[in-house]
Structure 1
């Protein structure tokens, strides 16, 4: 049967399925009790820099502040982050990754890299589509109210 959906819907459908399957593969490599959403937060803070406020993180992940607060509490309880009072505004907090948080992030990335490379070794063009995916992500990020 011919797929009559516009190509853009097919693209986002494929991205969604890839996201589900890759999150399931990631979840199998996470330490017990660490949820993929918690790992995503560790990844964000490790890759893009820490010191963000919980409100900044909630906006970035497009989740309610209460959900972000819960995720932060879980990560802090495990010793993966610290939440400190903001030096310029005592009403605000800042989130920092601990050495344990960086270590668990790097461990998961290391454990995942080999299997993912092996899985995709026969797929040509992955590096070539990366700029397109990055441009798509940036465009969506700039237009969050779409």
Structure 2
């Protein structure tokens, strides 16, 4: 690979990383006191993929240690956003299920960034964003498939 190609692809992923950091910070600033982006991210993941997963499966999806995920899940359970139930297929493990309060938390968190989205929308209209999303989803799928 030549240096120009390397620089181009590095710049591409660097920009994505900066965008991710800025968007995470904006969302986290609007979350209720005591709740963090990892809390939101787990709820969002369970809605996007499915609930009923084991803590280990969720930890693997986020590429974090199971102990870290257990801490995050305990915080969600304390807030009534998830229920942690025995796994009917394996008595040694648990499964994580969303509650109505957890679904509302996610919806309210997304609504809380409406002012940020409106400001962004003034510069980048919906048609431009709509055109970008499929390529970004494809890039995410490729990276996701290659991570293991």
Matched residue, 2:137:
134
Whole-Å Cα distance in 2 between the matches of residues 127 and 113 of structure 1?
Answer: 17
* TM value normalised by structure 2: 0.90
Q: SS in structure 1 opposite 2:131? A: helix
How far apart are the structure 1 equivalents of 2:134 and 2:122? 19
SS at match of 1:6: helix
Q: Which stretches in structure 1 are left out of the alignment for 5+ residues?
A: none
C-alpha RMSD of the superposition: 1.7
Question: Which residue number in structure 2 is paired with residue 107 of structure 1?
Answer: 108
Distance in 2 (alpha carbons) for counterparts of 1:136 and 1:115: 25
Q: 2 CA distance for matches of 1:14 and 1:120?
A: 19
Equivalence for 2:62: 61
Unaligned runs of 5+ in 2: none
Q: TM-score, normalised by structure 1?
A: 0.91
For residues 4 and 70 of structure 1, do their structure 2 counterparts lie closer, same or farther at Cα, with a shift above 3 Å needed? same
Q: What are the superposed Cα offsets for residues 80-118 of structure 1, whole Å, 9 maximum, x if unpaired?
A: 111000112111210011111111111111121343133
Match of 1:30 in 2: 31
